[in-house]
Structure 1
Amino acid sequence: MYRWLLLAYPRDYRRTRGAEILETVRDVGAAHRRIRVAANLVRHGLRARLGRPASRTVVAWASVFAVVCGLFAASFGTWLAWLGSRPLDHRDLAAVVGRLYPDRQVSHLDQDDPPAVFLIYGHPLDKDLLSALLLGDGGEYAPAELTASFDQAPPAGLTELRQRLDAAGWEQSEPVRSDAYGCVPGSPRCDPASIPSDIAVYAERGDHILAVELNAEGSMHLTLSRATPGAAYPAGVIGFALGTLGGWVLFGWASRRTEGQRPLVQGPVKVLYGVAMLFWTAPVLLGAPMMLTHHLGEPHPRWHVPWEWLGQPALSLPFLVGAFLLIVALGLAALPPRRAAGRTLAGASDPAV
């Protein structure tokens, strides 16, 4: 087992000190301390990947990069899981509406299946809409939905709706009421008790989520969407683990490559990394608190997709700029290291002789 754990160390380190490490581990690794020895072996190996033994901050910078990589990789994993989910079918919407209100004529009912799992302005993302995604409208990129509506809601309204949802086997949340319009608090013409309310009811059955809105003017709108696929959760966990590990290994490779490099390489690499991390972390620090406040402020039968918590794709342009800067930094780190002082070419005579 210990031999496999040596993979935590960089390759050159394993070649020069691997046998010594294994011999030491066999001497001190008593049976009741195997887990502790294994944990220490991995911890020291991951630290050795960073190089710079005298640095006190390299672990912190590597941790930031690894965690951010893990978060984006987790989002990518859940996105792939969403793409593999069952697409919406307009016949399911017709069946839902027909079972809830078989005695009423619907005024609008989507007759076509959504063209993709995620849509932006009602269309799949393509090169024509890419500029909209990158230049501020990325928030419009969302899971597809199917809609239906009644010009006139049933007279019993909310009470009848909830009874019919229960009879159809929908698990519903408590109704959410919101003022149909606002007014200036304290104004003589503002009476909060007399303001009509819009009412929203969210229900879930199987892999479907149904949102029903009863508007103050008397109409009713129904929206059918897909629940979060079950595969999204393990995909996110696996993506985070692989992304974090990959980010640590990549940072360690660049760190060791630039250790002892000339200042003209080290300086730009550090600056590029710092600016890139600013572009990557700023959307996360902005998006996560706003999304948390949003979720706590109203019920959500389905949480927003993970990348929206990271400010994506609304702030995808900063992410791409940061990725470009990191690629440039890695390119500089890949430059051949400078020769050690006093090293002579093979076969050259020593000038001191």
Structure 2
Amino acid sequence: MHRWLLLSYPRDYRRKRGAEILETVHDIAPTSRGARVAADLVRHGLRARLGRPASRTVVVWASIFTVACGLFAASFGTWLTWLGSRPLDHRELAAAVSQLYPDKQVSDIDTGDPPSVFIIYGSPLSWSSASDLLLGDGGEYSLAGLGASFAQLPADSRPQVLAELRQRLEAAGWDYTEPVYSNAYDCIPDDPRCDPAAIPTNITVYAQRGDDVLDIAINDDNTTPKMSIAMSRSTPWSAYPVGVVAFVLGTFSGWCLFGWASRRTEGHHPLVQGSAKFLFGFAMLLWWAPILFSAPLMLTHHLREPHFRWHLPWEWLGQPALSLPFLCGCVMLVLALGLAALPHRQPVDQTVAHR
């Protein structure tokens, strides 16, 4: 087993010191726990991949890069699992609506299936929508859904409308959350034209049955409540193991890639080293700024409202709403790797030079 663990060390390091390391491990194995020896081997091997033994910050920079790689890899893995999820069927929406409100007239309901699992402005993602994705409208790329709406509901009081909705959901076998209240629009609190009592209230109830998720929105405009129902799919069960595996693989691959670039630039000209460090640092700024901006907002949103389906992983990373900074960061990383790949002179062995 210990021989396999040596794969955590870079290849040149294994060739020079592999036999010595294995001999040392075999000598101390009878007096040490195997798990601890294995963990130390992997830890020292991963550190050796980074080179720069005198540096105190190289591990920090490597961790920043590898965690980002793991998060993006996990997002990509879950995106792939979503592509294999069960397609939406407009007939299921029609059946759900007829179960909940068979006595109400539906004013509008989707009669066709979505063209794909994810859409942007109603269409599948394509090269024609690249400008929308990169230039500020990336947030429109989202899960496809089906919708239905009622022109009006009986002019009952709001508690009666919600009580009736709960009864119908329970009778149809749906699990549901408590209502979420929000203002239909915001206004400046100190403005004399702002009357909080006159702002219409939006009420949202989330429900789930099997892999179907309903977002039921009631707009209380103080006259006649109006209701809309949106159906989407719950998160596929396979997204969780695939996301974890993709995170681990992305993290390890990122560590190995950073280590290769770190060792390659260690003996380069100071200009090459400085340029590579600048490109890498700016790339990490472009990668992490959207994450640090979006993740707290998403966490606050989830703590404030109940969800049967959490928001998609890449939305926590600010993607694809802020995909342009991410793409620019990728370009800078490619340039930094190109600098690391430049050939450079190896130091001449002094014992050979004096012969």
TM over 0.5: yes
Instruction: Say if 1:71 and 1:188 are closer, same or farther in 2 by CA, change over 3 A.
Output: closer
**Number of the residue aligned with 2:130:** 130
**Number of the residue aligned with 1:29:** 29
Match for 2:298 among 288, 291, 295?
291
Q: Please list the CA deviations of residues 53-74 of structure 1 after superposition, one character each: whole Å capped at 9, or x if unmatched.
A: 1111111111111111111111
* Aligned 1:187-266 pairs, distance under 5 A: 192=196, 196-217=200-221, 218-266=225-273
Q: Once structures 1 and 2 are overlaid, which stretch shifts more, 245-254 or 29-38?
A: 29-38
Instruction: Say if 1:327 and 1:184 are closer, same or farther in 2 by CA, change over 3 A.
Output: closer
Unaligned runs of 5+ in 2: none
Q: TM-score, normalised by structure 1?
A: 0.92
**Number of the residue aligned with 2:182:** 178
CA contact (8 A) 1:157 1:214 kept: no
C-alpha separation in 2, matches of 1:8 and 1:187: 63
**Number of the residue aligned with 1:158:** 162
Q: Once structures 1 and 2 are overlaid, which stretch shifts more, 275-284 or 212-221?
A: 212-221
Instruction: Say if 1:270 and 1:33 are closer, same or farther in 2 by CA, change over 3 A.
Output: same
**Number of the residue aligned with 2:143:** 143
**Number of the residue aligned with 1:2:** 2
Distance apart, 1:184 and its partner CA: 6.1
**Number of the residue aligned with 1:282:** 289
C-alpha separation in 1, matches of 2:317 and 2:187: 34
Q: Please list the CA deviations of residues 270-329 of structure 1 after superposition, one character each: whole Å capped at 9, or x if unmatched.
A: 111111111111111111112222222323222111111111111111111111111111
Is the counterpart of residue 301 in structure 1 residue 308 in structure 2?
Answer: yes
Instruction: Say if 1:186 and 1:7 are closer, same or farther in 2 by CA, change over 3 A.
Output: closer
> How many pairs are equivalent?
348
Distance apart, 1:48 and its partner CA: 0.7
C-alpha separation in 2, matches of 1:84 and 1:214: 32
Unaligned runs of 5+ in 1: none
**Number of the residue aligned with 1:64:** 64
**Number of the residue aligned with 2:172:** 168
CA contact (8 A) 1:177 1:197 kept: yes
Q: Once structures 1 and 2 are overlaid, which stretch shifts more, 314-323 or 212-221?
A: 212-221
CA contact (8 A) 1:139 1:314 kept: yes
Q: Please list the CA deviations of residues 170-224 of structure 1 after superposition, one character each: whole Å capped at 9, or x if unmatched.
A: 0000112234455665888877566553321111111111111121142211110
CA contact (8 A) 2:218 2:227 kept: yes
Instruction: Say if 1:122 and 1:49 are closer, same or farther in 2 by CA, change over 3 A.
Output: same
Is the counterpart of residue 89 in structure 1 residue 93 in structure 2?
Answer: no
CA contact (8 A) 1:153 1:214 kept: no
CA contact (8 A) 2:200 2:219 kept: no
Letter in 1 for 2:219: N
C-alpha separation in 1, matches of 2:186 and 2:122: 30
The 3-state SS of whatever aligns with 1:149 is strand
Match for 1:330 among 328, 337, 353?
337
C-alpha separation in 1, matches of 2:343 and 2:85: 46
C-alpha separation in 1, matches of 2:86 and 2:202: 32
C-alpha separation in 1, matches of 2:192 and 2:283: 54
The 3-state SS of whatever aligns with 1:174 is coil
Is the counterpart of residue 47 in structure 1 residue 47 in structure 2?
Answer: yes
The 3-state SS of whatever aligns with 1:30 is helix
Q: TM-score, normalised by structure 2?
A: 0.92
Distance apart, 1:114 and its partner CA: 0.4
